[in-house]
Amino acid sequence: MDVIFGNLDLWGVALRNTLILFFGGGAIALVLGIIIGAMRVSPVPIARGVGTLYVNLIRNTPLTLIFFFFVLGYAKLGLPSLSFITLAVIALGVYTATYVAEVLRAGISTVPVGQAEAARAIGLPFGQVMSLVVLPQAFRSVVPPMMSVFIALLKNTTIAAGFSVAELASVRASVSESPSRPGSSMEVLLWVAAVFVVLVLLLSLVQNRLEKKWRIAR
């Protein structure tokens, strides 16, 4: 236990930053993913084209390259300076949004077409059809795959360690580089794995609760 209690300062900062990356990236991914997912099924050809281009371009680009762009290339665009952790949050959100969009698109296809047609028949515009009729049902049907996307996002936060963000994956290097800190690299890695297992189990618990709640709501 010395690995934990002897390095509480490192673990505290690392866990906090990991949660910031997860929740920040998740919020961006959810909002952007809903927009892109709606564009993918939009009756407007230009909107469908933009949505398809975004998904195919970003999803087929390695996440590490997206991190390189935001962390190293962003500063060269003359835009306002942002911290590494903020840029990492944006990179994770932009990348994960493609998977959120595709999961939602699959969920939208499970909603009977007649419901959307009925909503349009009473004069609702496309935005209200999606937000009031289609998306609420689509979310209920995609809880398991959507949670798998967010579990993948949680694991992807470890990539930020290679871009000067002190998160859980960076604890090993910090301990190894400081002889005064207790614990070996292997011990730290095992504890990091244990923390991620606990976090994933918590996400699985949330998934089960949501499935149970929405199953009853139906």
The CATH number assigned to the domain holding 151 equals 1.10.3720.10
d(CA 182, CA 15) in angstroms, rounded, equals 18
For residue 6, give every residue at least 6 positions away whose Cβ sits within 8 Å of its Cβ, in sequence order, or none.
181, 182, 183
Q: Which domain holds residue 43?
A: 2-217
pLDDT digits (tens, 9 = 90+) for 49-88: 999 999 999 999 999 899 888 877 877 777 778 888 888 9
**Residue 23: pLDDT over 90:** yes
Residues 135 and 108 sit within 8 Å (Cβ to Cβ): yes
Cα separation, 172 vs 40, in Å, equals: 42
Q: Is the pTM of this model over 0.85?
A: no
Q: How far apart are CA 69 and CA 107, in angstroms?
A: 31
Give the integer Cα–Cα distance in Å for 105 and 34. Answer: 9
Q: How many domains does the chain have?
A: 1
Block residue for tokens 């009756």: 43
